Structure 1
């Protein structure tokens, strides 16, 4: 059974973004875009970088962010 983490590190978020980028790559050669899961995680990743934090509490993530992470961290 999967147990939700109390906190998620910036490295875990980066790994999850890369997972989604590989799983659902851009289909438009002219415009690079992230899929919805990677985009949701990129928002968190950017805020962590901007604030200088190394992790975020799992409970503060929204549903899309939690789902995108849970699918990768299992």
Structure 2
């Protein structure tokens, strides 16, 4: 599997946010954006610029792969 940059994660989060805007009084993120926000925050806290795709949990990996399939065809 490949490395995912912090910029790519941010683009994926924004993709899902645009596709499914925040909802409710608390403006909760959609499931996909929420799943990707956790590894994104981890990269920020650890001052890293990328992480291996295999480091994503199942929900984040599904959101990442959905983003890749939709925007880049794989």
Tell me, yes or no, whether TM beats 0.5: yes
For 2:14, what is the secondary structure of its paired residue? helix
Q: Who is 2:27 aligned against? A: 32
* Post-superposition CA distance 1:17-41 (Å, at most 9, x none): 001111111232x321101111110
Q: Which has the larger radius of gyration?
A: 1
Ranked by relative contact order (alpha carbons within 8 Å, sequence separation 6 or more), the top structure is 1
What is the root-mean-square deviation of aligned Cα atoms in Å? 1.1
Give the number of the structure whose residues are more often helix, by fraction. 2
Q: Who is 2:66 aligned against? A: 71
**Unpaired segments ≥5 residues, structure 1:** none
**Unpaired segments ≥5 residues, structure 2:** 70-74
- TM-score w.r.t. length of structure 1: 0.85
Give the length in aligned residue pairs.
69
